[in-house]
Structure 1
Amino acid sequence: MNTSAKDHAAAAGDDANAARHRSADELEAALAHIRESPDDSGVIRLIARRPVEDSREVLDEARISLTHGIEGDSWNQRGSSSSPDGGPHPNKQLTIMNARAAQAIIGPIERWPLAGDQIYADLHLAHGSLPAGTHLAVGEAVVEVAVEPHQGCAKFAARFGRDALRFVNTGEGRELRLRGINCRVIQPGTVRVGDAVSRL
């Protein structure tokens, strides 16, 4: 079943607390729980794709391909100034965000897709746990952790606050990769909510 993230956001918006920006103190208080994320194998909590800019679809399952990343996602239509030819960056086919970080920063799971990542997993993403080049089994697919950092931007700050941007881009948040990781696809396959994501 595919679900529009706009529908999820509208439902979450009924609670005024859902959309408020978390304070620096609240985010710091969440670090202990985030640090307890599983190291070697975790569970996929949510899958989303971006069919067009600023649009999200929440999926029960998705196909990960060598040429499209998450099929139906707009990655292959997004140019990058850091790619060799200015086209879609081959090492940024999909991104994975720590589910505990998403909960701390964003709030209810219905709002997580607003971050713009495709996979939200209960897995430790720190540099020490998943150095660049590490292979991860994501459902039936295999992806490689890219060296290129995944960092918060102006849109992230607008959606979740300046404190959230500092939280993910500096200090321990950066070391833990709380904004997430970029990946390129090594082996295609199907991924479903509830599947394992495991270090190989």
Structure 2
Amino acid sequence: MDELEKGLSDIKSSPKEVGTVELIVRRPETGEREVLAHAELDSTHGLVGDNWLTRSDGKGRRATANPDMQINLMNSRSISVIAQTRDRWPLAGDQFYVDLDLSAENLPAGTVLEIGTARLEVTSEPHLGCKKFKERFGKDAVLFVNSDEGKALNLRGINARVTVAGVVKSGDTIRKVD
């Protein structure tokens, strides 16, 4: 936990207005990850080729896709502290890892983000550490992201929906839109 907390100052210094897409990950099937150089975003399917729309509930039944959880974004500085090595970032299960302040104060629900040529709207659906996150990163990581400060900073990430389709490339800009 001490190591995680030491990373807070770096996480808190993330850019507030304009940041960078550091990594894009598609989840074609449950438990599978594909690191992408570029991705297509669509208002119906989310990240094209991702299983968000068709995934099961874990019991073999098709789950109802929640449009407020279409796209998952995580702060790249946060996952860097938690995962320790970049090759472990995709285990978190998010689609976009961005160097941008994702705190509730900086990006409240309704905030519009331009990412590549697409636009997203931040939703109010919480994104918290779960059983899988604990299995992959440990108990302290879950306590860290789900602490009061972790929730305020959205250390586990945020949810969004696609409002304007487009293409996103690794290294692209992500920015708040007024």
Tell me the TM-score normalised to structure 1 length: 0.84
- Equivalent residue, structure 2, for 1:77: 54
> Aligned equivalents of 2:55 and 2:69: distance in 1?
10
Equivalent position amino acid for 1:172 in 2: E
Listed one character per residue, the Cα deviations across residues 43-94 of structure 1 (whole Å, up to 9, x for unaligned) are: 00000010000000000000000111110000001367xxxxx610011111
> Aligned equivalents of 2:84 and 2:27: distance in 1?
20
Matched, 1:174 2:124: no
Moved over 4 A (4+): none
Q: 2:30 touches 2:55 (CA, 8 Å); kept in 1?
A: no
Pick from 29, 32, 35 the counterpart of residue 58 of structure 1. Answer: 35
Q: 1:63 touches 1:189 (CA, 8 Å); kept in 2?
A: yes
Alignment gaps of 5+ in structure 2: 58-62
> Aligned equivalents of 1:54 and 1:160: distance in 2?
15
Pick from 38, 44, 47 the counterpart of residue 67 of structure 1. Answer: 44
Equivalent position amino acid for 2:31 in 1: D
- Equivalent residue, structure 2, for 1:149: 126
Secondary structure of 2:68 counterpart: coil
Where do residues 1-200 of structure 1 align in structure 2 (5 Å cutoff)?
A: 24-78=1-55, 87-200=64-177
Q: 1:79 touches 1:88 (CA, 8 Å); kept in 2?
A: no
Shift of 1:189: 0.1
Alignment gaps of 5+ in structure 1: 1-23, 81-85
Give the fraction of aligned pairs with identical amino acids, expressed as a percent: 48
Q: 1:79 touches 1:89 (CA, 8 Å); kept in 2?
A: no
